[in-house]
Structure 1
């Protein structure tokens, strides 16, 4: 028995079956790894894997490549699994390479399977070169879902979803929806990503109009998905429920605050994510997870029966894995059904010409790899020979514009958003001072510090800047990256996340200040993962903007 195994008081593993001659030291190395796992011994776990860029670890969340990535993953685990090895099958490939397949019984129930390739190095030490982890299937992932059904709410129009016996009707028949935990769903309370708030919240009597529109179009509501605490973040982290996994980049944050719906869609749990976007909460998770996302024109979708954050900027949106479904979800909601017909406060949809502009100052603020990917994407869309048939949708490259002082726009946005957020939730937070994570609480405290004069001055300046943006953009489409970087790793510190947040909000606040619709199209890639190309269009051009974004993606072959 190894010292590690002995320290845990466990019995040495006896292989259930062995093919080939069992090499010396292999079972001891296997036992030491299991003991280190049980003790959450980070140093021993790191030493158990082969160093260098070629070691592999895969599980249901994705593949980690290289010792550095695997070690970082281990470092994020705050709790070690408690399990017992019930079977161990050894297949000897050579004196220095062995495959071990073990079956474990977690204390929580079920059975897990671990497949490992062990290699003996020149120093005679056995280390893991590759591992495939199959954990017992959970009922549902509580990082993604607050409550889920099969489905939770069946469309009144009928559905072709699995388990449904209805014949199917409506343009969204067969689609499933993950609803952000801000929207009212009849029979359930709205939790806002805060367990203490959920415990006191009343049960909703009616669906939010945005939920009802999708149900009426034939989609089934699969479940209520998690959000950042009171949706006051774009990271996707939640101190109570955890961080939903990133469906495109294992080991990275999901992006928020529509984090749960985004992860549900990226991982294939649902086909449509219904979310909100105040400062980028649709666009950022779409960018981080390689999804299509639409933030709608402010006020074009009714926000009744929806927990607000900052009503001046709050708007509804959707996340999907393809542009066609995004267009159908948006059309189902922005059409005449479920009370969404145009009115004085909900402008009608309008066409927009595919004429594009960029602001070099916006692009200068993003990470170098994102800036390079953005320039490369524009070069591919708009070749230098602008007179050719293939030069671009309108035959011309984007013109440069100057939107103004972006840092000033962001500060105006930050002041009004924070002041409204405190007005919305301040009384409850004051009565529950320990309910929120420190970073979220800090943003609310800033909102509490904003004076009426400061807020009034900021609102007056926002009105001036909005008119300025309208003049400069002149009904043209602004192109920019959806986020300032690819998704940061889960190991990023709060300070590192805050730097990324500030850089990204400098980009996303333009649409917020202008009340414009914005589409994030998953057409760019950097070493850290996907990055969206964002199209910001005139107010009321939501559906046209999705169509134009889809045409750009088609030109790029993506």
Structure 2
């Protein structure tokens, strides 16, 4: 041990500090949450950071620790103390992990008055030593299994080309959601037992092949919620991928692995699917750009379906430019759409800034999201007239009974999910997590008459949406809240899910493209969703990027 600094500690005081340090380290090894909580200073200003981000405040640090499940076994090999004052010292320690590798812990310890009894054996020398700031550098795994099912450097290279010039996705890497066929690998759908019985794909899914043909390599196959039947991002088998923007929060699903890989800089593009919000929600939670494409615009060949009536392919990226490049490489980039983009898949003709909002949709959001949305739509970038006929740039519309639409959406989605996977689920009881299993139980009970009635409701709603929107771009939050904490209860997660799906089901019902742009904070990220006419995919990305630029957001 080495002790230096601009001040000195009496031997008894130094002994007290080191006793507190070793007591904390011992508690880490047995995951004694009570001792760990007591070792950190109370109050809103305590800090803890690691490779996943910064936690501010004792409450958030405690919540994170309660779901972490302990740390890897290690021993302390070196301790250095730099005394800053008789009441504060910086302790830097080096650790050796039993499984290999080393780590570094930097902690600012300060002495505080505390009348409670001590349990660290250090005695009382003018107060209790607590951590006020900490930074942890662990031994990073070669592959984070919560994000990646399998990864390489790359896993699969870009397709060869006879062209001598650069391709649009040259140098980019792709995290492929574990629903798409990748040549040489099986599809696992987030369920180890399903993966064990799955055949190895002989060819890529067409959406994968399009990206590889554009010059991108496949970095790896990324995790998904079980059978993609969730928007939370939790997986009982592989763990919860970290949220790259909000430490201690869920990542959003079911394109959770691709979203986290992109947010953390481990891939350029996340290839995902969106049935009820599975691209838009993780994009919103992690501050990413994402698009659910016009239904049917991207081939589903080689994709394991959930509910084909609503399933769409899309991408997640850190920038609008990368999103457009991925979309153009797959959809085709010809600027041959009609003036409003309707009816031309991938059409890149300019979309006028004719926006619509529905107060009924936004009413289901948490108050902070409603306030941020209301402030955003008052901005000149959205309110400014951009129409040759001088039409109002922003109009409030009535989309009808959205509760009925959401109920019908869930019925049809459930009926199709059961047809796709019900036989396998029945043959493997007890395999799925409780929330996914419950959804399949509900889906199994849908009758043919109930499904037919729900489809009639959706067909009428689709016609109504087309008529009411009349080519306008619908604006709404991409999710009903910012990312819930990892410690959120199942009931809280279900409430957020229901509120969000009530909003996201509008695009699914209409078969519309929807772009989530990271334009709001509450203070954590929330996306602004642009829902455009069918076939306006590229033009919709361009419109969202243009609005973002006018608002001063980085692209």
How does the TM-score come out when normalised to structure 2? 0.92
Aligned match of 1:198: 195
Shift in Å, 1:109: 1.3
Is 1:172 aligned to 2:169, yes or no? yes
Shift in Å, 1:383: 7.7
For the residue of structure 2 that corresponds to 1:297, the secondary structure is coil
Deviation string 1:470-489 (CA, Å, 9 cap, x unpaired) is 11111111011100000000
Aligned match of 1:343: none
Deviation string 1:293-352 (CA, Å, 9 cap, x unpaired) is 000000111101111100000000001111111111101100189xxxxxxxx9533444
On the 8 A contact 2:345/2:537 being kept in 1, the answer is: no
Question: Structure 1 pair 393/484, CA: closer, same or farther in 2 (3 Å)?
Answer: farther
Aligned match of 1:25: 16
Is 1:485 aligned to 2:481, yes or no? yes
Is 1:133 aligned to 2:129, yes or no? no
For the residue of structure 1 that corresponds to 2:378, the secondary structure is helix
| Cα distance between partner residues in 1 of 2:95 and 2:450 | 60
Aligned match of 1:87: 78
Worse-superposed segment, 454-463 or 265-274: 454-463
Shift in Å, 1:240: 0.6
| Cα distance between partner residues in 1 of 2:241 and 2:466 | 37
Is 1:544 aligned to 2:544, yes or no? no
For the residue of structure 2 that corresponds to 1:305, the secondary structure is coil
Aligned match of 2:360: 361
Shift in Å, 1:393: 13
Is 1:457 aligned to 2:453, yes or no? yes
User: 2:145 aligned to 142, 145, 155, which one?
Assistant: 142
On the 8 A contact 1:382/1:396 being kept in 2, the answer is: no
| Cα distance between partner residues in 1 of 2:85 and 2:344 | 71
Is 1:222 aligned to 2:222, yes or no? no
| Cα distance between partner residues in 1 of 2:390 and 2:429 | 54
Aligned match of 2:252: 255
| Cα distance between partner residues in 2 of 1:285 and 1:202 | 29
User: 2:331 aligned to 318, 334, 347, which one?
Assistant: 334
On the 8 A contact 1:382/1:392 being kept in 2, the answer is: no
| Cα distance between partner residues in 1 of 2:137 and 2:216 | 32
Deviation string 1:173-212 (CA, Å, 9 cap, x unpaired) is 0111100000000000000000110111100000000000
Q: 5 Å matches for 1:363-402?
A: 363-381=362-380, 396-402=392-398
Question: Structure 1 pair 454/268, CA: closer, same or farther in 2 (3 Å)?
Answer: same
Shift in Å, 1:122: 2.7
Shift in Å, 1:157: 3.9
User: 1:290 aligned to 287, 292, 296, which one?
Assistant: 287
Shift in Å, 1:36: 1.1
Number of matched residues? 526
Is 1:271 aligned to 2:268, yes or no? yes
User: 1:554 aligned to 542, 549, 552, which one?
Assistant: 549
Aligned match of 1:162: none
Aligned match of 2:298: 301
User: 2:109 aligned to 113, 118, 124, which one?
Assistant: 118
User: 2:230 aligned to 233, 242, 259, which one?
Assistant: 233
Question: Structure 1 pair 63/394, CA: closer, same or farther in 2 (3 Å)?
Answer: farther
| Cα distance between partner residues in 1 of 2:282 and 2:32 | 33
| Cα distance between partner residues in 2 of 1:35 and 1:252 | 27
Question: Structure 1 pair 59/554, CA: closer, same or farther in 2 (3 Å)?
Answer: same
Aligned match of 1:532: 527
For the residue of structure 2 that corresponds to 1:25, the secondary structure is helix
| Cα distance between partner residues in 2 of 1:348 and 1:522 | 24
On the 8 A contact 1:275/1:319 being kept in 2, the answer is: yes
Shift in Å, 1:381: 3.3
Shift in Å, 1:392: 13
Is 1:475 aligned to 2:471, yes or no? yes
On the 8 A contact 2:382/2:394 being kept in 1, the answer is: no
* Structure 1 unaligned regions, length at least 5: 1-14, 160-165, 338-345
| Cα distance between partner residues in 1 of 2:35 and 2:191 | 36
On the 8 A contact 2:233/2:241 being kept in 1, the answer is: yes
**Superposition CA RMSD, Å:** 2.1
Is 1:75 aligned to 2:66, yes or no? yes
Shift in Å, 1:77: 2.1
| Cα distance between partner residues in 2 of 1:348 and 1:290 | 26
On the 8 A contact 2:91/2:106 being kept in 1, the answer is: yes
On the 8 A contact 2:382/2:547 being kept in 1, the answer is: no
On the 8 A contact 2:315/2:323 being kept in 1, the answer is: yes
On the 8 A contact 1:50/1:67 being kept in 2, the answer is: yes
| Cα distance between partner residues in 2 of 1:273 and 1:507 | 23
On the 8 A contact 1:90/1:99 being kept in 2, the answer is: yes
| Cα distance between partner residues in 2 of 1:17 and 1:272 | 48
User: 1:321 aligned to 310, 318, 322, which one?
Assistant: 318
On the 8 A contact 2:177/2:257 being kept in 1, the answer is: yes
| Cα distance between partner residues in 1 of 2:396 and 2:430 | 47
On the 8 A contact 1:292/1:522 being kept in 2, the answer is: yes
On the 8 A contact 1:519/1:536 being kept in 2, the answer is: yes
| Cα distance between partner residues in 1 of 2:330 and 2:550 | 28
Aligned match of 1:60: 51
Question: Structure 1 pair 532/381, CA: closer, same or farther in 2 (3 Å)?
Answer: farther
Aligned match of 2:440: 444
User: 1:412 aligned to 389, 408, 412, which one?
Assistant: 408
| Cα distance between partner residues in 2 of 1:394 and 1:189 | 54
* Structure 2 unaligned regions, length at least 5: 115-126, 335-342
On the 8 A contact 1:168/1:174 being kept in 2, the answer is: no
Question: Structure 1 pair 186/518, CA: closer, same or farther in 2 (3 Å)?
Answer: same
Aligned match of 2:34: 43
